[in-house]
Structure 1
């Protein structure tokens, strides 16, 4: 019985230290490394704006916005984010297939293969980056270079708590599939 208590205490300690690391060491924005494309999963403030900024700076040639609501039209997207028609036509793809982070990764992998992308910049919120990057790493071929470009945020403790557990679940599930 004593061994079980020590085991449980050890697991709680590992969980608590992991959560502390998760909160204190949130991913940061990337530098000015160039990639073939920028990938932006929907769902967090500032993500799409940062992705468009990457395009404007010439750090990528094209952008996939994955997880777009099927009711959003390209014209509505362009108007909301002030994207010109020429920029939409040449460089911005709206992906409507994904409904969650795993779906974002699958949709991205299909788009990367169709567009012969060899390197990409993942733009997502700092608290979401680890899970999104993990799903993407499992979905993409190993030779695709992924730059993590986090959008800084001010998440609540509750949001961080939930995302930490999603990361754990995603990591464990990733051991058994793909």
Structure 2
């Protein structure tokens, strides 16, 4: 015996909420996609395409290892009088002062008098912690920060969070691949930029949470150092 149509249960009340949730999810996805795109454009706007000497000198210079030419460029800044001392942060434990000396033969006197090595840092966050300790021990109030252009935004986030009372002056190192062709045409460079953007976002989120009292002690997307091919470039930034 079939029920009259008026007595049959209706699926309409269930269908309406289901459609409503789908609309909410679609809207959230669209907003997230727009936010990611806008954030990525903002990140790219911070990446220098050419190198430019700092507009002013500073008390000290810190170079974060992990990319080609970072240490040699930092040594040139030290030699030109842009800072009184240089910290090379993130030196692999297997790299000794003699290894670095052999790779920087033009600046032997500076290496012996004015360069400090940090072997404790294993990622950008610990770079910032070791740099803070070094700067405070010497009473430095301003630092020139040397790292690759794609790494600079995240480095400044971490360093400024660790040392809000110290003036940071970026010096971005631009690699050969970046100079020779647009970054988006090289698959390796494209992956590097996208990966660095995700790390930058993670650092921004962690720092903002820490500012409101929610400190996340473990940094996302960081890898431990690996044995270097060249001295003093061991950190995986």
- Please, which of 39, 57, 67 is the counterpart of residue 34 of structure 1? 57
The match for 2:26 is 5
The match for 1:158 is 191
Q: Which runs of 4+ in 1 moved over 4 A?
A: none
The match for 1:105 is 128
| Separation of aligned partners in 1, 2:205 and 2:42 | 18
Alpha-carbon RMSD across the aligned residues, in angstroms, is: 1.6
CA contact (8 A) 1:37 1:117 kept: yes
- Please, which of 158, 166, 169 is the counterpart of residue 202 of structure 2? 169
Moved more, 21-30 or 117-126: 21-30
After superposition, give the CA deviation of every residue in 1:47-91 in whole Å (9 maximum; x if it has no partner): 111101111111111100000001111111111122544312221
CA contact (8 A) 1:118 1:143 kept: yes
**Residue 122 of structure 1 pairs with residue 145 of structure 2:** yes
The match for 2:3 is none
The two structures have a TM-score, normalised by structure 2, of 0.70
The match for 1:22 is 43
Q: Which has the larger radius of gyration?
A: 2
CA contact (8 A) 2:46 2:153 kept: no
Give 5+ residue unaligned stretches, structure 2.
1-20, 184-188, 216-237
| Separation of aligned partners in 1, 2:141 and 2:167 | 6
Q: Give the secondary structure class of the aligned counterpart of 2:55.
A: coil
| Separation of aligned partners in 2, 1:96 and 1:6 | 47
CA contact (8 A) 1:38 1:64 kept: yes
CA contact (8 A) 2:54 2:170 kept: no
Give 5+ residue unaligned stretches, structure 1.
none
